[in-house]
Amino acid sequence: MTAPVSLPPLGLAHFTALDVPPLELVGLAADAGYSSIGLRLIPAAPGALAYTIPAGRAQMAEMRHRLHDRGVRVHDVEIATIGADFDPASLAAVLDSAAELGAESLSVCADDTDRGRLVDRFGALCDLAARSAIAVDLEWMGWRAVRTLDDALDVVTRAGRSNGRILVDALHLKRNGGTPADLAAVPAGLIRSVQLCDAGPVAPVGTEAIIAEARGGRLPPGEGVLPLVELLAVLPVEANLSLEVPMGTALPAEERVRRVHAATVALLKRRRPG
């Protein structure tokens, strides 16, 4: 008789339902079966949608109440871009909010081609975040200066901060030449945040198409060709699994988050135990 597969808790990345404000996202996530959420408190690009939850204000108190009432936690806030003119101090208010929300990590990407300067500023951001017991997770993306797993590992290891880590996104891993086997060689403790999604068989060509897929052309886990079973097999048991599946707004947000959760649960149940 086959032993049942133990299902890990699942988080809802805000990008899956970015049209839903944080206060509403809590209940939406809880009703669909998620145990945690991520929050987009920093715009991914100038003018892009993001939300604010100022520390010490009434909105923060209401947010904390809803999180407690529904049994949902905040895993991360996102997403800062470390560019050539990045000042870690510019994120002080966001880190204050993250701390009051109980977030574990701040997610960042990097677009500075001066690797030495990038390492220094990533390290300085880690130092600032450490004051609030928050980790800094560096994500790689094909159109950024940090575009591969090796790039991200280089920055994090050279910075040498105990709270500096990498963020594994299943789409960016595959599309930028990485494999699950590559993750198995990552030093212990550097992977605590993982974003799951799926994608079609044809990789986009050109920066515009790559960005379009990443920001609106993903599929629910198990509905595409990414090696998700192999990826899950090599992840550390403590890794937080978050479902980041932006796929447009043709479907209502509730239907989107439920579909993504159900697809992921089905995928996890298909895994062979052990």
Per-residue pLDDT tens digits for 140-192: 999 999 999 999 999 999 999 999 999 999 999 999 999 999 999 999 999 99
Cis omega before residue 79 (within 30°)?
yes
Averaged pLDDT for residues 92-118: 98
Say yes or no to pLDDT of 24 above 90. yes
- Predicted pLDDT of residue 272: 55
- Report the percent of the chain where pLDDT is more than 90: 94
Is residue 274's pLDDT more than 50?
Answer: no
Neighbours of 206 (CB within 10 A): 9
CA distances from 223 to 8, 122, 197, 201, 263 (A): 19, 35, 9, 11, 8
DSSP helix/strand/coil, 166: strand
Is the pLDDT confidence value at 273 over 70? Answer: no
Distance separating alpha carbons of residues 3 and 102, to the nearest angstrom: 35
Mean pLDDT of 247-252: 91
Q: Which residues neighbour 118 within 8 Å (Cβ) at sequence distance 6 or greater?
A: 82, 110, 112, 145, 146, 155
Sign of the alpha-carbon dihedral angle for 108, 109, 112, 117: positive
pLDDT at residue 167 in the model = 98
What is the average per-residue pLDDT within 247-269? 96
- H-only helix segments in 71-142: 92-101, 115-130
pLDDT higher than 60, residue 244: yes
Give the pLDDT score at 248. 87
Residues 6+ apart with CB under 8 A from 27: 66, 70
Q: 3-state DSSP call for residue 163?
A: coil
CA–CA gap between residue 106 and residue 134 (Å, rounded): 7
pLDDT of residue 141: 98
Q: What is the mean pLDDT of residues 253-267?
A: 98
Given a cut of 60, whether residue 2 has pLDDT beyond it is: no
Distance separating alpha carbons of residues 234 and 237, to the nearest angstrom: 9
Q: Using one digit for the tens of pLDDT, what is the confidence trace for 218-234?
A: 999 999 999 999 999 99
Segment 73-91 mean pLDDT: 98
Taking the C-alpha atoms of residue 175 and residue 190, their distance in angstroms, rounded to an integer, is 21
In the three-class reduction of DSSP (H, G, I as helix; E, B as strand; rest coil), residue 81 is classed as: strand
Query: What is the pLDDT at residue 105?
Result: 98
**Cα separation, 7 vs 171, whole angstroms:** 22
Is the pLDDT assigned to residue 4 strictly greater than 70?
no
For residue 130, the tally of other CB atoms under 10 A from its CB is 16
Mean pLDDT estimate for the chain? 96
Rounded Cα distance between 224 and 194, Å, is 18
Q: Is the pLDDT of residue 1 over 80?
A: no
Give yes or no for a contact between 76 and 105, defined as CB atoms under 8 angstroms apart. Answer: yes
Q: For the chain, what is the largest distance between any 2 Cα atoms, rounded to a whole number of angstroms?
A: 59
Residue 249: pLDDT band with limits 50, 70, 90: confident
Q: In this model, does residue 73 exceed pLDDT 70?
A: yes
- Percent pLDDT > 70 in the chain is 97
